Amino acid sequence: MKLTLRQMEIFLNVVASGHLTNVAKEMKLSQSAISMSIKELETILGKPVFDRINKKLVLNEVGRAFYKEIDPIYKKLSDIEYEFKNSENKGIIRVGASTTIVDYLMPTIICSYMSSYPDVKITLKEGNTKEITQMIQEGAIDVGFVEGLVFEPDVIKEKIGVDELWVVSASPKFNKGCYIDELAKEKWILREEGSGTREVFLNYIKDKVDKLNIFLELGHTESIKSILVNRECLTCISKISVENEIKEGKFYHVDVKNFDCKRDFLMIYHKDKYHSTLFDKFVYFSKKLMLQMLDTEQYNRSKYIK
Amino acid sequence: MKLTLRQMEIFLNVVASGHLTNVAKEMKLSQSAISMSIKELETILGKPVFDRINKKLVLNEVGRAFYKEIDPIYKKLSDIEYEFKNSENKGIIRVGASTTIVDYLMPTIICSYMSSYPDVKITLKEGNTKEITQMIQEGAIDVGFVEGLVFEPDVIKEKIGVDELWVVSASPKFNKGCYIDELAKEKWILREEGSGTREVFLNYIKDKVDKLNIFLELGHTESIKSILVNRECLTCISKISVENEIKEGKFYHVDVKNFDCKRDFLMIYHKDKYHSTLFDKFVYFSKKLMLQMLDTEQYNRSKYIK
DNA sequence: ATTATTATCAATAATATTGAAGGATTTTCA
DNA sequence: TGAAAATCCTTCAATATTATTGATAATAAT
């Protein structure tokens, strides 16, 4: 036999009022229902919690300790139930994103979102497009942000922006118009094999460039940026990862003619995903912010308007 | 509609195992019972807590937060229930005692008891015999210790020892055999009017002494003792309140011939009191300890035996 | 005596659970 | 590969269990 919440509720009310009859009225139940519920509770515990002194039920030493334990817990449970029934903004959203997005977009989104919805917690996982997609399929994350293409049928994808790859350098030497094939024999630093950024770039130039002089391959964008500083090298990376440095004059966006290398940023989620208000709000919020951040021009303009 | 513990139990099991079928087996229920229970929980909360991804039920962002809140509380409730079902020694005993007992006997009893039963809490209330008896009648305390007489029919009384009143002084001047009437004109300090100790003493000597020279009345035994020190005064108080000081030689027990002033110490409780194991243990324990403390001779002997 | 209160019991209402049927998806194996 | 089997959840009506009622008795207070 196990205690029920109902029994606890009735018990607490009886403690509060001291009379079964009052409680019965308050709870719109018959007096015998209350009496039997209390008796059942005592049977389950194996001992009385009330002394029947005169017509009153007075907590005894056991009941008193029981009350002290149960009362705060019952209240807390009620609060939780109320919160979840009434609050739209309570939950834990698990987000997954691929490398570039994790590093350069997610921090802004998460900080901004959490300040608007303090009751929502977010956990962030990193992975490449394939891994993130699989997490969606397995239900390991609620929503994913990836660069690259997704074809799985049970995964819904929404284009949330365009990722632009820029040729970047720290040296002013390249800071004049030119064509991509003229740069082929310069020293290039690229991401490692398997990286989406690398693949897209190489695929894009394969018709125009015979052989690219790749002199260094690194696993992280930040590593590339560190090496790039003060050296006469070139790289091709996502514009969002170097925007700040270019603004500061640390790097140059090399003006390569006829170079327009783009790919989509996607938001993905499972087709069977239940769209809670919470989920929808997060999706709406992050899509909006993504678009702002990815369209720099529009983003800067909106700053002035504000 | 309200959530039930059962629904939470099933919910937690489903979260743990991920499959309704497993949970149904574990809980020895049909699988449809589990399904409907979860559905009911979701209806009550107003939103799903699981995403039905493939055949699995995967917690969604709402369910995850709900789980995080409910899980520890459910465990705690289970622990409490178990504790109260199985532990004999869990409770809060409310004890009332009259002045002398509160000051000189209860501290020892409570400390000693609590070291034997760490899960039991004790609250102590002070009052005169009449007040303590009334508290018993109203169920405001579980057990009382009083000096004096109790006649109420719904209060059970057990004699637990004899209170002896001693004539005490700090001056060696009185440290020789004498009769009470010879001391009547000395300076007496007594407790205030209404005090049991005072009434018993005055009633006891009323036939032997014409007029007692009461030069000071004080509300507390400890105040009397403070005044007594280094002064040529007398008082008549409970032996247990001055035993230590007499042992230390600070006060003398004046050897008054034919002076044998006693009254009973009583333990009282309500006739309808449910005797939980806890209650019985406390009663047994404190009776034993009281007897030891009140029979000084036996008490000291027992010290040596140990 | 009358009122107020709790306890108890059988009857009944409400709720939880079952068992069978169905749908959707994955696994098995020819 | 593709059809059959297995797995797993959902739904629904039937049933078992549990909670609640209404009437009645018992007890103490006014």
DSSP A100-130: HHHHHTHHHHHHHHHHH-TTEEEEEEE--HH
What pLDDT does residue B281 have?
A: 92
* Nucleic strand C contacts from chain B, 26-85, CB < 7 Å: 28-30, 32-33, 36-37, 40, 54-55
pLDDT of res. A52:
87
How does the average pLDDT of chain A come out, rounded? 88
- Which of A5, A274, A281, A283 is the mutation pick for testing B, counting most B CBs within 10 A? A274
Q: Which of A67, A65, A86 is nearest to A75 (CA)?
A: A67
Q: How far apart are alpha carbons A204 and A263 in whole angstroms?
A: 10
CB contact under 8 A, A139 and B276: no
Contacts of B6 (CB under 8 A, 6+ apart): A4, B37
CA contacts within 13 A on the Cβ side of A85: 12
Say yes or no to pLDDT of A219 above 60.
Answer: yes
CB A256 within 8 A of CB A180: yes
| Alpha helix stretches (DSSP H) within B172-219 | 180-183, 196-205
pLDDT in tens, A186-195: 999 998 876 7
pLDDT at B99: 84
What residues of B are in contact with residue A40 (Cβ under 8 Å)?
Answer: none
Distance B148 CA to C9 C1' (A): 47
**Amino acid present at B236:** C
List Cβ neighbours of B71 (8 Å cut-off, separation of 6 or more): B12, B15
Task: Report the residue of B38, B40, B45, B61 to disrupt the A interface, i.e. the one with the largest count of A CBs within 10 Å.
Answer: B61
| Residues A230-287: tens digit of each pLDDT | 888 999 999 889 988 999 999 999 999 999 999 889 999 998 888 888 899 999 999 9
Cα separation, B176 vs B187, whole angstroms: 17
- pLDDT category at A295 given cuts 50, 70, 90 is low
CA distance A152 to chain B (A): 14
Q: By C-alpha distance, which of A22, A8, A32 is closest to A56?
A: A22
Cα dihedral: B276, B282, B287, B289 (round 10): 160
CB within 8 Å: A272 and B51: yes
pLDDT band at A154 (very low <50, low <70, confident <90, very high): confident
Taking 90 as the threshold, does the pLDDT of residue B298 lie above it? no
Closest Cα partner for A265 from A158, A165, A190, A191?
A158
Give yes or no for residue A7 having a pLDDT over 70. Answer: yes
Angle at B105 between CA B101 and CA B108, to 5 degrees: 150
Closest residue by Cα to residue A125 from A115, A116, A138: A138
> CB under 7 Å from any atom of strand D: which residues?
A 4, 6, 24, 28-33, 36-37, 40, 54-55; B 18-21, 31-32, 35-36, 38-39, 52, 55-57
Q: Which of A36-40, A194-198, A262-266, B181-185 has the lowest mean pLDDT?
A: A194-198
Distance of CA B273 to the CA centre of its chain: 15
Percent of chain B with pLDDT strictly greater than 70: 96
pLDDT digits (tens, 9 = 90+) for B47-69: 999 998 877 888 999 999 999 99
- For A296, the token pair is 């720099």
> Do A142 and B61 lie within an 8 Å CB cutoff?
yes
* Contact predicate B269/B155, CB 8 Å: yes
**Pick among A49, A60, A283 to test the B interface (most B CBs inside 10 A):** A60
pLDDT at A300 over 50: no
pLDDT confidence of residue A306: 34
Residue contact A273–B66, C-beta within 8 A:
no
Which amino acid is located at B11 in the chain? F
Confidence (pLDDT) at A161? 87
Q: What is the mean pLDDT of residues B223-239?
A: 91
Between A183 and B175, the higher pLDDT residue: A183
| Token pair recorded at residue A238 | 């996502």
Reported confidence tier of residue B172, pLDDT bands at 50, 70, 90:
confident
pLDDT on residue A220: 84
Please answer whether residues A120 and A93 qualify as being in contact, where contact means their C-beta atoms are separated by less than 8 angstroms: yes
A224 min Cα distance to partner chain B (Å): 36
Q: Tally Cβ neighbours within 10 Å of residue A25.
A: 13
Contact at CB, B84 and A45, closer than 8 angstroms = yes
- Structure token digits, residue B280: 């019985």
* pLDDT tops 60 at residue B148: yes
Whose C1' is closest to the CA of B52: which nucleotide?
Answer: D9
What angle do the packed helices B277-294 and B106-116 form, to 10 degrees? 130
* Alpha-carbon span B246 to A127, nearest angstrom: 83
Residue B195 pLDDT > 80: no
Lookup: nucleotide whose C1' is closest to A53 CA: D28
Q: Which of A151, A139, A279, A94 is nearest to B53 (CA)?
A: A139
* Residues linked to residue A122 through DSSP beta bridges, in sequence order: A93
| Mean pLDDT value across residues A52-57 | 82
3-class secondary structure, A189: strand
Contact B274/A94, CB-based, under 8 Å? no
Give the gyration radius of chain A's Cα atoms.
31
d(CA B200, CA B195): 9
pLDDT in tens, A82-125: 999 988 888 999 999 988 889 888 999 999 999 999 889 999 99
One-letter amino acid of A233? C
Statement: the pTM of the whole predicted model exceeds 0.85: no
Residue B4 contacts strand C, CB under 7 A = yes
Contact check, Cβ <8 Å, A53/B272: yes
Rounded CA-CA distance B43/B49 in Å is: 10
> What's the CA angle centered on B214, arms B222 and B209, to 5 degrees?
120
Strand D nucleotides where any atom sits below 7 Å of a protein CB: 7-13, 19-23, 27-29
Please name which of A129, A97, A123 lies closest in space to residue A290, comparing C-alpha atoms: A97
| Alpha-helical segments (H) within chain A | 5-17, 20-27, 31-45, 61-86, 99-104, 106-116, 129-138, 196-205, 221-228, 239-247, 277-294, 296-305
Residue A305: pLDDT over 70:
no
What is the least distance, in Å, from the CA of A279 to any CA of chain B? 8
The nearest CA of chain A is from the CA of B176 a distance in Å of 51
For residue A299, the model assigns a pLDDT of: 44
The 8-class DSSP code of residue A258 comes to T
- CA-to-CA distance for B70 and A78, rounded, in angstroms? 11
DSSP sequence for B87-120: -SS-EEEEEEE-HHHHHHTHHHHHHHHHHH-TTE
The total of other beta-carbon atoms located within 10 Å of residue B285's CB is 15
Shortest Cα distance, chain A CAs vs residue B136, angstroms: 10
Q: Measure the CA–CA gap between B214 and B186, rounded to whole angstroms.
A: 8
CA distances from A108 to A101, A103, A161, B247 (A): 10, 10, 16, 78
HSE of B50, CA atoms in CB hemisphere, 13 A: 24
* Residue B296 pLDDT: 52
Q: What is the mean pLDDT of residues B203-223?
A: 89
User: Contact B253/B168 with Cβ under 8 angstroms?
Assistant: yes
- Residues B25-43 have a mean pLDDT of 94
Altogether, the residues listed in chain A come to a count of 306
